[in-house]
Amino acid sequence: MGGKIGTDVELAAGLLRSGKPVGLPTETVYGLAANGLDPNAISQIFEIKNRPFFDPLILHVASIQQAMEFTHSWSEEAKQLAAAFWPGPLTLVLPKNNLVPDLVTSGNPTVAVRIPNHSIALELLQQLDFPLAAPSANPFGYVSPTTAMHVFDQLGDKVPYILDGGPCMRGLESTIVACLPNQQPKILRLGSISVHEISMVIGEIDESLTQNSNPSAPGQLDQHYSPYCKLEALENLTFAQTQLPTTAKKAILLFSKTKIQNQLVDIDNFTPKIDKFYLSENGDTNQAAQQLFSMLRQFDALKYTHVWFEWAPETGLGRAINDRLRRAAAKR
Ligand code: TXA
Ligand code: MG
C-alpha cells in the first residue's frame, strides 16, 4: 500500500498544512479531513467523496475554546452537553461566525462542531492552528469506514495519507444536536450517544430526524450508508427468495444469538443454507453498533448478493442502529 497508511502524525499535519486531505481516525468512524478554513482544501473532500455541496461538514476541534472561536450564542444546554460529552461522539450545531467558509456549512448560518475522542485525532488537532472539516471517509451514500483499510480500499488512490488509529471504538457516527437561539435543542441525527444519555443531561429533547431530499442533516437522506448487496428486513423474507438461483449468495444478519425477534421465519430449516451472522452474540447494542458498518462491508467483500437483517431492539443504541439499517436498505 506504498506507505499510504501509517501512524505518522507529523506527516499528516504537514499534508494538511499544505492544503491536502488526510484520512482521520476518530472514535466513531474514519473521517476524510482537510483544513476547515481553506475552501480549496475543503472542495477536495467533496470531489473525492463525490459528495453534493448541499451536504454540510462537521468541524473537528481540539478544545471547547477552539469551538468557541467559530461559533456564538451558546445556550446553557449547549454548554452542558459539551461539558458532559466532549471529547466524544456528540456534534453540536451552533450559530457560526464568518471565519467559517460557506463551503463547510453549505451556506447555512450554523456550523456543526465536535471534539473527537481519539488520541491520534486529538494529537493531530493540537498540532494544527486550524480546525479539521471531516465527513465520514466513504464515497457518498456508501457504508462509513471503521478501519484505515476501509478508507484505503475505496479512497486510497485519491488520498495521499491515511492515519491509522485502529478499529473505531464506537463504529457509528456522532449524535447531532442543534442548539440554536430561541429554539428548543433538537436531535438531528441519532448516533453513538443515545437519546436517553442526552436527556439525562438536559432533560427531554425533541427530535427532528428529517427524511426528505433537502434535509437539514443529509445523513438523514432516505437512502444512505448502503452496501452494494441487496439488503432487506428479515420480515420481508419470503419463501420464494430462499429459492433464488444458485448464483445468489445469501446471508442473514441477526441482532443476537439470544433473541430472534422475528419468529415468522424458521431460518435453520432453509435449504439451500443461508449463512448467519450476528451483530452481537449476547445482544449488546454497543457492540452491535461497533460491528454494524464493518459487517455491511464484509458482505460486499465476501460477494453476498442478498442479505436479510433482523432489527435491533429499540433500547440503548438500538434506535441508531435501526436508523442506519433502514437507510442502508432503502431503495436507491
Ligand atoms: O461521527 C461523526 O460525526 C463522523 C466523524 C468523522 O466525525 N462524521 C460524520 O460526518 O458523520 P458526515 O459528513 O458523514 O455527516 C455529518 C452530518 C451530515 O449529515 C450533515 O448534514 C450534518 O452532519 N451537518 C453538518 N453541518 C450541519 C449544519 N450546520 N446543520 C445541520 N446538519 C449539519
Ligand atoms: Mg457520512
CATH code of the domain covering residue 237: 3.40.50.11030
**Is residue 318 in a domain?**
yes
Give the strand pairing for 58-60 and 162-163: unpaired
**Is residue 286 in a domain?**
yes
Question: b/e per residue, 45-66, with b = 16+ CB within 10 A?
Answer: bbebbebeeebbbbbbbbeeeb
Same domain, yes or no: 8 and 152: yes
Query: How far does the centroid of ligand 2 lie from the alpha carbon of residue 316, in Å?
Result: 21
CA distance 319 to 192: 10
Same domain, yes or no: 149 and 285: no
Same domain, yes or no: 91 and 181: yes
Same domain, yes or no: 235 and 182: no
Q: What is the mean pLDDT of the segment spanning 170-199?
A: 98
Domain residues for the domain of 27 are 4-207
Tens digits of residue pLDDT in 192-202: 999 999 999 99
For the chain, the domain total comes to: 2
Q: What is the mean pLDDT of the segment spanning 287-304?
A: 97
- For residue 233, the model assigns a pLDDT of 94
Tens digits of residue pLDDT in 10-42: 999 999 999 999 999 999 999 999 999 999 999
* % of the chain at pLDDT higher than 70: 91
- Element housing 132 (H / E): strand 132-133
Instruction: Choose one of 207, 238, 272: the last residue of a domain.
Output: 207
- Output 166 or 245, whichever has higher pLDDT: 166
Q: Which ligand is nearest to the CA of 70?
A: 1
**Is residue 219 in a domain?**
no
Same domain, yes or no: 61 and 153: yes
Here the cell at position 62 is 481540539
Question: b/e per residue, 205-218, with b = 16+ CB within 10 A?
Answer: beeebeeeeebbbb
Cβ–Cβ contacts within 10 Å for residue 14, how many?
14
Task: Give 214's pLDDT tier (boundaries 50, 70, 90).
Answer: very low
**Is residue 212 in a domain?**
no
CATH number of the domain encompassing residue 21: 3.90.870.10
**pTM of the model as a whole:** 0.94
Same domain, yes or no: 96 and 182: yes
- For residue 240, the model assigns a pLDDT of 76
Q: With 0-12 CB in 10 A as exposed, 13-18 as middle and 19+ as buried, what is 181?
A: exposed
Tens digits of residue pLDDT in 265-286: 566 666 667 899 999 999 999 9
CA distance 316 to 90: 15
Same domain, yes or no: 76 and 174: yes
pLDDT exceeds cutoff 60 at 261: no
- Cell 442502508, residue located: 328
**Is residue 94 in a domain?**
yes
- For residue 237, the model assigns a pLDDT of 81
Could you tell which of 50, 91, 290 is best to mutate to test the pocket of ligand 1, judged by most ligand atoms within 8 Å of the CB?
A: 91
Q: Give residues (CB < 6 A) around ligand 1.
A: 26, 28-29, 31, 55-58, 89, 91, 93, 105, 108, 110-112, 116, 134-136, 173-174, 176, 188, 216-219
- For residue 259, the model assigns a pLDDT of 58
CB 148 within 8 A of CB 5: yes
Same domain, yes or no: 195 and 289: no
Same domain, yes or no: 130 and 236: no
**Is residue 247 in a domain?**
yes
**Is residue 220 in a domain?**
no
The backbone torsions φ and ψ at residue 174, rounded to the nearest 5 degrees and listed phi first, read: -65, 155
Same domain, yes or no: 189 and 298: no
- For residue 238, the model assigns a pLDDT of 79
Same domain, yes or no: 185 and 237: no
Residue 103 backbone zone (phi > 0: left; psi -120 to 50: alpha; other: beta): alpha
Task: Give 241's pLDDT tier (boundaries 50, 70, 90).
Answer: confident
Which residue owns the Cα nearest ligand 1 atom 19?
219
- For residue 207, the model assigns a pLDDT of 95
Same domain, yes or no: 161 and 284: no
Tens digits of residue pLDDT in 36-48: 999 999 999 999 9
Which range (23-37, 51-65, 204-218) has the least confidence?
A: 204-218
- For residue 213, the model assigns a pLDDT of 44
List CB contacts of 16: < 8 A, sequence separation 6 or more: 22, 33, 34, 35, 41, 124, 128, 132
pLDDT exceeds cutoff 80 at 8: yes
**Is residue 27 in a domain?**
yes
- For residue 2, the model assigns a pLDDT of 47
